[in-house]
Amino acid sequence: MIRKVLLNGKVITLDKKMPKAQAIAIDHGRIVRVGDNAQVEEAIDRDTEAIDLEGRTVIPGFIDSHAHLLDMVGMRLVNLDLTGVGSIPHLVEKVKDRVEASPHGRWIVGSGWDESKMAERRYITRFDIDAVSPRNPVVLTRIDGHLAVVNTAALEAAAIRNDMPYLDKDNSGEITGILKDQALSYLPDASSPDIETRREALRLAIREAHRLGITSVHEIAGGTNIRLYQEVLLKGQLSLRVYLMLLIDSTCEWGGIGLGSIHDTGIYTGFGGENLKIGPVKIFADGSLGARTASLLADYTDEMGNSGLLLRRQEELAELVGKAYRANMQIAIHAIGDRGIDEVIGAYASLPAKGRNMRNRIEHAELITEEQIERARELGLILSMQPNFVGQWGYPGGMYETRLGERYRDNNPFRQILDAGVMVAFGSDCMPLGPLYGIHCAVNHPNPECRMTPEEALRCYTIGGAYASFEENVKGSIEVGKLADLAVLSESPLEVSPDRIKDIRVEMTMVGGEVVMGKGCNTPSFR
């Protein structure tokens, strides 16, 4: 018996043998037929559920290959969401409202602010928010997660002293409340959400992912979040396929796990099932352009004398990479600046030849050079990139030009990377979540020499992600035998004009043949 069929659609299969079709048949969570209506209708019996697509477009479900779904998307939905705040007074007013609704002493946690989109074009400091929150500790994380501002009450609660390293100070030597990268580890556990808050955040984040057509994520997670994903899986409530990227340190705001602990457990990349699987270890080499901590070969244009923060040099990275390889773990290293990428490629080059079969990754690789692209190809590296960054900050007058000057034009050179034969997997880093927006940005890169075609960008958000998780045989395209993870779109991204891709709507999302977003679909509960 065929349990479900989709008919009368425009199916973009991404299968070279059959690139287009009209209909799909699904049984036991997998695709069993793909073809024209007549070919699929042959399998229908009285127990088959038929869905008339009415000419809509079907694509493989999106795979977001770099996400902080729980910590960034979910937490913004349950905490103070500062996304899109246009000025410091507006931000302060939002903090004031939250303080007035909270008991004295409770931590006020917010995220998503972006000074490059604010009228003042500067970071917030504790002096901006002290007056509205004298008794409540406040921590407000920048959109990229590499920088946060805390108020005086938070400095006192965290026992942060003037003589501690990595603290930003003003001309008089006063702590400004701005914490970058390693300094985020000074924040106490009290500033972290409890398990009930995390559970609700995960529920809302998964719902948001489905709304955007996402069926799989490569989720960056520490211990508490990993346990929560396991809990939801065991309850049969995990309606999203999750490839866990295990943090092995705490240089950023998300708590890490020791590499030795991972090795001692005996777990390895690929351990798990279709809905929850162990992926790579995640290591940081540098910071972000927004925080001016991405490690550059030349100084920041808007802060001469600062070339960023190299969190680990090649020798230390090589030691970590070697340990991960011996533990049968795929490796994903965060590197944004050209100097950081140099150190990472050098570390990967220290692996034995067999290490190239682990599909090791560089996360972001924004300022990658032509020489580095060629070395990445030789080493079999995957570049896990975020095209939405270009849309956020890559246009003339944007944050990238402010930080980099003329170098900003060569940021995220998608065309050159594809032409060199390097595998690319697209994700969002949740800034913002949204594959169609990311595809739009890759196709409309402000530098025409860096642009992809719509089909290339779609492949990076589907097949690229599947390859990066060793799952290209079960997902990423619409083929017989693969998982029935699908997204139904209002229009085809291959047919609309490039400037309209971002306006396409996701009208239905299916995971394993089950409708998780669309008509008649209920929001899941994790209670």
pLDDT at site 10: 97
255 and 299 in a single domain? The answer is yes
264 and 412 in a single domain? The answer is yes
Residue 335 and residue 357: Cα distance in Å, rounded? 21
Under DSSP, is residue 129 helix (H, G, I), strand (E, B) or coil?
helix
pLDDT at site 265: 73
Q: Does residue 273 lie within any of the structural domains?
A: yes
Residue 441 and residue 389: Cα distance in Å, rounded? 8
DSSP state of 277: E
Which CATH number belongs to the domain containing residue 344 in this structure?
3.20.20.140
Give the tokens for residue 80.
Answer: 């103070």
Locate tokens 């030597």: which residue?
A: 173
Spatial CA neighbour of 136 closest among 166, 112, 109:
109
pLDDT at site 257: 60
103 and 15 in a single domain? The answer is no
Give the tokens for residue 26.
Answer: 């699904």
Q: Is the preceding omega at residue 413 within 30 degrees of 0, hence cis?
A: no
Pairing of strands 506-511, 30-35: unpaired
Q: Does residue 213 lie within any of the structural domains?
A: no
Q: Does residue 504 lie within any of the structural domains?
A: no
110 and 178 in a single domain? The answer is yes
Pairing of strands 147-150, 138-142: antiparallel
Q: Return averaged pLDDT per consecutive 10 residues of the chain, 527 residues in all.
A: 90 96 96 95 88 96 97 93 95 96 93 95 96 95 92 94 88 92 85 88 97 98 90 95 85 52 78 96 95 97 96 93 92 98 97 91 98 97 98 96 96 98 98 97 97 98 98 98 98 97 98 89 47
Residue 221 and residue 283: Cα distance in Å, rounded? 12
Q: Does residue 370 lie within any of the structural domains?
A: yes
Residue 329 and residue 332: Cα distance in Å, rounded? 10
pLDDT at site 45: 86
Q: Is the preceding omega at residue 432 within 30 degrees of 0, hence cis?
A: yes
Q: Are 58 and 416 contacting, i.e. CB atoms less than 8 angstroms apart? A: no
Q: Are 203 and 526 contacting, i.e. CB atoms less than 8 angstroms apart? A: yes
Q: 344-379, pLDDT tens digit by residue?
A: 999 999 999 988 889 999 999 999 999 999 999 999
Q: Where are the alpha helices (DSSP H) in 158-252?
A: 195-211, 223-234
288 and 426 in a single domain? The answer is yes
Quote the distance between the C-alpha of residue 527 and its chain's center. Answer: 26
DSSP state of 73: I
Which residues are bridge partners to 75 per DSSP?
Answer: none
Q: 89-109, pLDDT tens digit by residue?
A: 999 999 999 999 999 999 999
346 and 258 in a single domain? The answer is yes
Residue 297 and residue 38: Cα distance in Å, rounded? 60
Give the tokens for residue 99.
Answer: 């303080």
Amino acid letter, 296: L
Sheet holding 23-27, edge to edge: 30-35, 23-27, 4-7, 49-52
CA distances from 401 to 290, 301, 342, 451 (A): 11, 9, 22, 18
Q: Is 499 exposed, middle or buried (0-12, 13-18, 19+ CB in 10 A)?
A: exposed
pLDDT at site 356: 83
Q: What are phi and psi of 84, to 5 degrees?
A: 85, 0
Residue 351 and residue 48: Cα distance in Å, rounded? 52
Residue 95 and residue 112: Cα distance in Å, rounded? 13
Quote the distance between the C-alpha of residue 377 and its chain's center. Answer: 23
Residue 285 and residue 251: Cα distance in Å, rounded? 10
Neighbours of 379 (CB within 10 A): 17
Q: Are 282 and 255 contacting, i.e. CB atoms less than 8 angstroms apart? A: no
Q: What are phi and psi of 75, to 5 degrees?
A: -70, -30
Domain count, the chain: 3
Q: Are 479 and 34 contacting, i.e. CB atoms less than 8 angstroms apart? A: yes
49 and 94 in a single domain? The answer is no
Q: H/E/C letters for each residue in 385-433? A: ECCHHHHHHCCCCCHHHHHHHHHHHHCCCHHHHHHCCCEEEECCCCCCC
Which CATH number belongs to the domain containing residue 140 in this structure?
3.10.310.70
251 and 115 in a single domain? The answer is no
Say what the pTM is.
Answer: 0.92
285 and 163 in a single domain? The answer is no
Sheet holding 423-426, edge to edge: 62-67, 214-221, 241-247, 276-284, 331-335, 361-364, 382-385, 423-426
Q: Side-chain half-sphere of 344: how many Cα atoms within 13 Å?
A: 33
325 and 263 in a single domain? The answer is yes
Q: What are phi and psi of 423, to 5 degrees?
A: -75, 130
Q: Does residue 467 lie within any of the structural domains?
A: yes
84 and 20 in a single domain? The answer is no
Boundary residue ending a domain (191, 218, 234): 191
Q: Does residue 170 lie within any of the structural domains?
A: yes
Residue 154 and residue 158: Cα distance in Å, rounded? 6
Under DSSP, is residue 53 helix (H, G, I), strand (E, B) or coil?
coil
Q: Are 124 and 113 contacting, i.e. CB atoms less than 8 angstroms apart? A: yes
Beta-carbon contacts of residue 316 (< 8 Å; ≥ 6 apart): none
Which CATH number belongs to the domain containing residue 33 in this structure?
2.30.40.10
pLDDT at site 3: 87
Q: Does residue 458 lie within any of the structural domains?
A: yes
Residue numbers of the domain that contains 84: 80-191
Residue 82 and residue 60: Cα distance in Å, rounded? 32
Residue 217 and residue 240: Cα distance in Å, rounded? 8
Q: Does residue 66 lie within any of the structural domains?
A: no
175 and 135 in a single domain? The answer is yes
pLDDT at site 248: 77
Total count of residues recorded for the chain: 527
